[in-house]
Amino acid sequence: MRYIGCAVLLTMVLGVPLACTAQDPVVDFSYAFATPHRMTVAPPESGDKTLLDCEPGSLRLGWTYENLTTYPLAAFMTPPALWGVRITPQIDGKPLAKSAWTRAENILPVLDNSYTDPAGTVRIEVTGAATAALVRVTLSNISAEKHSFRLVCESQRGFFGYNPGYVDADKDKDVLLAGWGERADRVIVFGTGGQEYAISNATTLCPTWELAPGEEKIAWVVRPYRAYTADLPALRAKDWQAEADQAKADWRTLLGRASRVILPDQGVTDAFYACLGDFFIMREPVAGGAIAGTPGTDGYRAPNAGEAAIVAIALDQLGLHKEAEYGFSACLGLQGDDGDWNDPTGWGHLMWAMSGFKSWTVMEHYQTTGDRAYLEAVYPRMLASSRWQEKQRARTRVMAADGGRPLTYGLMPRGMGDCGLKDGDDLYGVFLPHNMWATYADRCAMETAEILGKNDEAAELKKIYETAHADLMQTLSAGSIKEDGYAWIPGVAGKTCGSRWGALNALLPCGTLPADHELVTGTIKQLRAHMSPGGLPINTGWLPKGLWVAIALDNLAEAHLARNEGDEAAALLYATLNHATPLVTWCEERGPEPGAKECTGDRQHLWTPVAVVRAVRDSLVMEDGNELHLGRGIPRHWFASKKPIGMQNASTHFGDVSYEMTYDPATQQLQGKVILPKETATNRTPAAALLLHTRLPKGLRLLSVNPTSGATILPDGTGLRWEMPKGELTFIAAAG
């Protein structure tokens, strides 16, 4: 991650939030919440996860020996991370004065944690490798005097985890064994490379060193995933550096297979790939042998269809189609015999939005791959779901006793809202966002039947969809909140209770309302009327005056992009990144102030990283019906950098697309290239038009473009347009 000046350094080291004084937005984490800052390390898609909590002066490792393969699929049951060790570096018996933390290479899910003091430094790098979580420790004496260095590694589970050398001086002193709560001889952690191992108490491992001026030592603290005392001789002899190097190489290879973003701001680039990596940190083997995504790594370490769906969509859009399909297959199959597709035996039961999330994922996979066989295989689930939903809505098509039409007429019955949606103080009710998603699922089923040529079922599904949509539209009109000259969409028709989550899904992806509809405009205005000091909407989740940071992008920024309001979307992107920790992680919800101590849900939550990846992708490449938009949300100041902007191998509904453009402020010339498929692939519809948005600094617009480009300038001078584009398109445009 790119840091600027001492203000950012102080924010990282001392936790003191300082405002950025630069004119252009930068990634500086100035609104990070309070420590501990959480990051999880593991191999990709592994159940062997190690939670890392960074605080000034120390680092805590936490874990469980359980995994999700023995838990009921998609049940809200999480393996408790009861085991833990706190590592506190000391020089001459005292903790070091300053602490800082970031990711290795700025993007990998590998911790780079440094401690500094006038006497010396201790650098700790933690990697989730194949057989163990590896803590590589580099100790440096930077003073002119000899100093004693020590790592105090203390078990965090009471008397579980003991040092055999404390009990018997002839026993091993370089290891903590479980003792109780597990097999007694299980290795919790062990050390290698210590000059000696001090004994301070029963539950502490203490490697120590005497370092001369300028001397440096490297040592390891290792948390084996599965090891016992009989394994210690082999563990002590193992080349842990080679295993750590291989783990990092595996992550680089995985991230390198995704579409490449070309951005002038290294901070945004690093955040994009850091977030992408966490997609694979938060998925693992589950019951039945599949892989599934989880919303978090601790309290939410249980799969559900919501986060797993948006991960699959983002992976498809970045060209990782096999990973997208494989990682969502378990959630896709959760359906009742009656057709209920809302995880009836899992976490998402009674949440009627789940059928919509699943349908969105199915359609996006088909549209980015053209895989008709996949669509045919899933279609029976979509058909059964819509038929089931129609039966549920039929139960609510009842007029009130006075002959009037109730606001719940034709909607899905009472369900669970989640996401802070409440009917008064009740978690159960008839929620508008869930009805938007359910109706969207019906539309996807109808469109799938049409694609597959199932004409009779398409006619049936069209009637289901159009009836549900018409009833929903009447409720939205009658149940919207009208105040101060505009109307906005609440969570419950006619009521202002609960959060604003999901209201703007009426535009994207559900398409309940068009981009210019007064309720979309009014809902955006309502969200923007309640913004935090850091530039994010409040009341978007469970905390009435707090932030679910993800929703600023997932709902609001995506709506701005669909309305060609790129300035607003770009500002929300930077605000979201600056509410992350320096590890590029977010808790689920938090207080709005810098250094907020109020944090709820999982401390490393998945929805925000997915929202970041999708917002960056959609700012660069975004489908809109039969048109493809490039650069819709590019921050204007990026053009002033004279650096290239674009994306390589973005997977779209029209095939893979690459483009790059550069603006020279001195000559006011913009030039670039777009590469589209030369021919339309099977099961694909070509783009009717390509729009390249050139979001130059305000006051500038395009005046001309070379005739051989085949492009025309948009009427307001904000971009270029090609009709029926294909192949390679090059352009040189003049601005003024």
Give helix 566-578 / helix 607-620 axis angle, nearest 10°: 150
Query: Is residue 334 included in any domain, yes or no?
Result: no
Full residue range of the structural domain in which residue 640 is found? 627-735
Query: Is residue 123 included in any domain, yes or no?
Result: yes
d(CA 96, CA 90): 6
DSSP state of 653: T
CATH classification at residue 693: 2.60.420
Domain boundary among 223, 252, 281: 252
Query: Is residue 516 included in any domain, yes or no?
Result: no
Q: Are the C-beta atoms of residues 211 and 252 closer than 8 Å to each other?
A: no
**In the structure encoding, which two tokens stand for residue 345, read together?**
């035996």
Q: Which residues contact 461 (CB under 8 A, 6 or more apart)?
A: 383, 386, 442, 445, 446, 449
d(CA 129, CA 50): 10
Q: What is the pLDDT of residue 1?
A: 35
Query: Is residue 692 included in any domain, yes or no?
Result: yes
Question: 3-state SS of the chain: helix, strand, coil percent to 5?
Answer: 30, 25, 40
Domain boundary among 217, 252, 287: 252
Q: What is the pLDDT of residue 683?
A: 85
pTM of the model: 0.95
Q: What is the pLDDT of residue 533?
A: 97
CA distances from 664 to 121, 237, 670, 708 (A): 44, 57, 7, 21
Query: Is residue 645 included in any domain, yes or no?
Result: yes
Query: Is residue 8 included in any domain, yes or no?
Result: no
d(CA 15, CA 9): 9
Query: Is residue 283 included in any domain, yes or no?
Result: no
d(CA 267, CA 271): 6
Q: Amino acid identity, residue 726?
A: K
Domain boundary among 190, 219, 252: 252
Q: What is the pLDDT of residue 681?
A: 83
Whole-number CA gyration radius for the chain: 27
Q: Which residues contact 33 (CB under 8 A, 6 or more apart)?
A: 579, 581, 587, 590, 591, 595, 596, 597, 599
Residue holding tokens 């892989």? 291
pLDDT along the chain (736 residues), means of 10: 34 34 85 98 98 98 97 95 98 97 98 97 98 98 98 97 97 98 98 96 98 98 98 98 98 98 98 98 95 96 95 98 97 97 96 98 98 98 98 97 96 97 97 98 98 98 98 98 96 97 98 98 98 97 96 98 98 98 98 97 97 98 98 97 97 98 97 95 91 95 97 98 97 98
Query: Is residue 207 included in any domain, yes or no?
Result: yes
Residue holding tokens 């193992």? 238
Q: Are the C-beta atoms of residues 497 and 424 closer than 8 Å to each other?
A: yes
Helices vs. strands in the chain: H and E counts, helices first: 16, 34
**In the structure encoding, which two tokens stand for residue 710, read together?**
């085949």
Q: Which of 512, 476, 519 is nearest to 494 (CA)?
A: 476
Q: Are the C-beta atoms of residues 292 and 284 closer than 8 Å to each other?
A: yes
Q: How many structural domains compose the chain?
A: 2
Q: What is the pLDDT of residue 684?
A: 87
Q: Which residues contact 338 (CB under 8 A, 6 or more apart)?
A: 388
**In the structure encoding, which two tokens stand for residue 218, read together?**
């490297």
CATH classification at residue 112: 2.70.98
The strand pairing partners of 229, in sequence order, are none
